[in-house]
């Protein structure tokens, strides 16, 4: 797998800024602008929540009409602009008008992302100020841009990766994302902007982003809730001169994009609200991949499983019970369950077999408890039915999660 850097140095033809516009009252950065010096081929994946926010509606409309000529993405925090009716859509469109005027491009070349409290209208005075300040400070401060899109996140999430194509040319892929709560698949609750200086067709961009997000952003769970605003965008401006023109190059690009998205997705789980444990769930032996994913999601969203991890209680019965109610007819007599300390996929020599042939094994309770108390734990459930497998990354459910969400609006 491609080596992903934890910083972003430079991606040809792109500039960014992160500023304090006034959406947040405490002076924190709260507005980001990502700008390409030339038009971008752009693809997006969006929430499947029926209560879609105004920016989601607008961005899907823009990509349906103008996917090969996007120049900028504006991101605000502090207000989701969700469940805001026609006024919310009007304010989203006004945002693109102002950005277009400031940058010298058409409004339909601008996309918008919003995150924050549902049901409040955008503060357009803050928006105007944010656009002006960001436009004046465009550069390569990706850390500031990543920081400016955080809500309950405790740290910025960003990364980059290089790809060498078959003809020896090289391109860069980089991305920033945010997310800590309301994290569930289809789409995972988050915002993400991924850029590349490679030249892509609209078809390749869409295929690559769908493939990458399907194995990464759609494989994470913090709490099982899905937001109204989830969006990940891929913008490709071709400024490096490297062009994805063969099946081999598309495969290499998609692999690198997937590696970057995996890093960003896992960062979201590690920074989940109140999280103390990072859990890798690997389901094998299911009838097909969809069934394996369904089983993994059921385990990942189980409050009883998640609280057991928080307490360091090796209550394996909760895992098996969750798998059994996932809607997939798995046979208990063929199912096996292992746990391993750390982050692994499958089993290792250090894995502990807890359950097989419909019964618990003669494992050491002391050993199993010690494994559950690690900061990272891996679960491998083999259903003994077929070739379907899936990996989902999740976490525990702590007291702090309840505290954070008990007074989120205040």
Catalytic residues: 189
Distance CA 137, CA 320 (A): 53
Pairing of strands 336-341, 388-395: unpaired
C-alpha closest to that of 18 among 195, 155, 148: 148
Helix ranges (H only) for 240-288 are 247-270
> Can you point out the beta strands (E) in 290-403?
336-341, 352-356, 359-360, 376-382, 388-395
Distance CA 39, CA 60 (A): 17
Torsion of CA 145, 77, 272, 298, to 10 degrees: -120
Confirm if 295 and 326 have CB atoms less than 8 A apart: yes
Q: Which are the contacts of 80, defined by CB distance < 8 A and separation ≥ 6?
A: 53, 114, 115, 116, 117, 118, 119, 120, 227, 228, 229
C-alpha closest to that of 390 among 308, 318, 291: 291
Eight-state DSSP code of residue 226: -
Handedness of CA 378, 379, 385, 391 (dihedral sign): negative
Handedness of CA 334, 340, 346, 352 (dihedral sign): negative
| Six token digits for residue 150 | 């955080």
Q: Which are the contacts of 386, defined by CB distance < 8 A and separation ≥ 6?
A: 285, 286, 287, 288
Eight-state DSSP code of residue 4: P
Distance CA 250, CA 242 (A): 12
Give Rg (Cα) of the chain: 22
Distance CA 301, CA 294 (A): 11
């Amino acid at each position: 797998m491609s080596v992903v850097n934890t910083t972003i140095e430079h991606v040809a033809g792109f500039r960014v800024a992160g500023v304090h516009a006034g959406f947040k009252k405490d002076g924190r950065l709260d507005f980001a602008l990502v700008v390409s010096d030339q038009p971008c081929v752009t693809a997006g994946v969006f929430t499947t929540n029926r209560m879609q926010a105004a920016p989601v509606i607008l961005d899907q409309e823009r990509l349906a009409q103008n996917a090969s000529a996007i120049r900028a993405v504006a991101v605000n925090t502090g207000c989701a602009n969700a469940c805001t009716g026609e006024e919310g859509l009007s304010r989203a469109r006004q945002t693109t008008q102002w950005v277009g005027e400031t940058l010298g491009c058409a409004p339909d070349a601008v996309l918008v992302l919003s995150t924050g409290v549902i049901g409040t209208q955008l503060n357009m005075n803050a928006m105007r100020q944010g656009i002006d300040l960001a436009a004046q400070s465009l550069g390569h401060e990706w850390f500031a841009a990543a920081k400016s899109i955080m809500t309950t996140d405790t740290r910025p999430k960003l990364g980059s990766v290089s790809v060498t194509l078959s003809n020896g040319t090289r391109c860069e892929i980089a991305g920033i994302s945010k997310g800590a709560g309301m994290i569930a698949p289809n789409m995972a609750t988050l915002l993400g902007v991924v850029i590349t200086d490679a030249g892509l067709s609209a078809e390749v961009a869409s295929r690559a982003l769908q493939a990458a997000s399907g194995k990464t952003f759609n494989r994470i769970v913090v709490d099982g809730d899905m937001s109204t605003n989830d969006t990940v965008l891929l913008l490709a401006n071709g400024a490096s001169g490297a062009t994805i023109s063969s099946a081999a190059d598309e495969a290499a690009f998609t692999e690198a994009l997937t590696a970057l998205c995996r890093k960003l997705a896992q960062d979201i789980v590690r920074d989940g609200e109140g999280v103390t444990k990072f859990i890798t769930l690997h389901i094998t032996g299911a009838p097909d991949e969809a069934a394996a994913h369904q089983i993994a999601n059921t385990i990942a969203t189980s409050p009883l499983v998640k609280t057991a991890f928080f307490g360091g209680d090796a209550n394996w019965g909760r895992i098996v019970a969750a798998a059994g109610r996932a809607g997939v007819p798995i046979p208990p007599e063929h199912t096996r369950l292992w746990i391993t300390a750390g982050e692994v996929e499958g089993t290792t020599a250090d894995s502990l077999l807890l359950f097989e042939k419909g019964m618990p094994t003669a494992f050491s309770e002391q050993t199993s408890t010690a494994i559950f108390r690690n900061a990272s734990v891996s679960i491998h459930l083999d259903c003994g039915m077929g070739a379907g497998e899936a990996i989902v990354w999740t976490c525990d459910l702590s007291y702090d999660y309840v505290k954070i969400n008990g007074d989120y609006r205040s």
